[in-house]
Amino acid sequence: MDGPVELVTEDGTVVRSDRVVVAVCACRRSKRFPLCDTSHRRRVRRGGSQE
Ligand code: FES
């Protein structure tokens, strides 16, 4: 997504980002949820494949 953007969460909170590139967090690990802060990358899978 190209910024700036405004997101409205399920509880009606409006989250605004002025960043040029914005990613929406789908893993819910982000400290900036609902925006992705790349925390999803810390996931370590054992016995599985990683991208
Ligand atoms: S998708 Fe959740 S931190 Fe990136």
The tens digit of pLDDT for each residue in 1-51 reads 776 888 888 899 998 888 888 888 999 999 988 889 999 998 666 665 555
Residue 5, C-beta contacts closer than 8 angstroms, at least 6 positions apart: 16, 17, 22
Q: What is the pTM assigned to this prediction?
A: 0.62
Tell me, in angstroms, the distance from the centre of ligand 1 to residue 1's CA.
Answer: 14
Q: Please tell me if the CB atom of residue 30 comes closer than 6 angstroms to any atom of ligand 1.
A: yes
* Confidence (pLDDT) at 30: 92
- Is residue 7 in contact with ligand 1, taking CB distance under 6 Å? no
Q: Does residue 24 have its Cβ closer than 6 Å to ligand 1?
A: no
Residue-level pLDDT at 47: 67
